Amino acid sequence: MSAISTLRRLLDAAAARGERRLFWWRDDDATALSAALDRLFNDAAGAPLALAVIPDGATSELLELCKDRDVAVLQHGVSHTNHQGAGKSAELGDARPPEEVITGCVAARARLAVSPAFLPVMVPPWNRAARGVLDALPAAGYHGVSLFGGPTVAGPMRRVDVHIDPIAWHAGREFQPQATLSAMIERAFDQHGPIGLMTHHLVHTGPIRAFVAAFAETVRTHPAAGWTDAGTLFAPPPPS
């Protein structure tokens, strides 16, 4: 069974129960305008997008386009640099003191905060961050974080993850096997929060683009599905 068929089957089951599932879309590693970004907007077909923008190298033209297109800008670390000496890659990992990491994040945030489209939400590169860094984000002025695969966590520091990644990073960045994608979709439906699609427009191949476009169309047209936007998901809590 194809991953899109799995998505439709699960949505059909939700409709039979009288339920409706919300989806959101986070695209990572943006810095500048490109033909690949134009293709992403085309494949999105009007779905609300959130771009996780790398502050180092982010151009004013990109930020202006996000404002004009009502695309949310999230902070994707600082420069997407791996600081871990060993193990899995991370920019916001435990190789440096949390206060040093946070100081760099806040300084980099100023490059994005000039845009009305910016939301103070951290998207750690490689979807990894040390616990000390995560714990320090609220005091540093962030009210949201987005990683991969977890449930939504409410509160002053809201966590809303993405769950579906169509790119097989350790297999030449090719399109994921259908069975792998179907399993991701199944797990995403098992948690009760919004379901997140993660894309990386700069490395999309034809099959990846075809899946993304079919996914977007299914969410747009199925009666048990709907898109929501990052501004809604990461709205700051009301004052107490």
pLDDT 10s digits, 88-143: 999 999 999 999 999 999 999 999 999 999 999 999 999 999 999 999 999 999 99
SS3 percent helix, strand, coil of the chain, rounded to 5, is 40, 20, 40
Backbone φ and ψ of 12, nearest 5°: -60, -40
* Percentage, residues of the chain above pLDDT 70: 98
What are the E-state strand segments in the chain? Answer: 21-30, 50-53, 72-75, 118-122, 144-145, 158-159, 167-168, 174-175, 195-199, 225-227
- Distant-in-sequence, close-in-space partners of 18: CB < 8 Å, separation ≥ 6: none
pLDDT band at 240 (very low <50, low <70, confident <90, very high): low
- Distant-in-sequence, close-in-space partners of 166: CB < 8 Å, separation ≥ 6: 175, 176, 181, 199, 208, 211, 212
Average pLDDT over residues 3-30: 98
pLDDT of residue 156: 81
Q: 239 in helix, strand or coil?
A: coil
Burial label, 41 (beta-carbon count in 10 A; 0-12, 13-18, 19+): middle
CATH topology of domain 3-224: TIM Barrel (3.20.20)
pLDDT of residue 155: 83
CB atoms within 10 A of CB 137: 23
- Rounded CA-CA distance 186/10 in Å is 8
Range in 19-28, 76-85, 193-202, 231-240 the model is least confident about:
231-240
- Distant-in-sequence, close-in-space partners of 227: CB < 8 Å, separation ≥ 6: 22, 23, 24, 25, 47, 48, 219, 220
Average pLDDT over residues 162-178: 96
Quote the mean pLDDT of the chain.
96
pLDDT band at 19 (very low <50, low <70, confident <90, very high): very high
- Rounded CA-CA distance 220/214 in Å is 10
Range in 83-87, 88-92, 117-121, 180-184 the model is least confident about:
83-87
In tens, the pLDDT along 196-219 reads: 999 999 999 999 999 999 999 999
Paired with 27 in beta bridges are: 51, 199
Q: Is the pLDDT of residue 13 over 80?
A: yes
Please report, for the chain, the start and end positions of each structural domain, with discontinuous segments joined by +: 3-224
- Rounded CA-CA distance 26/48 in Å is 9
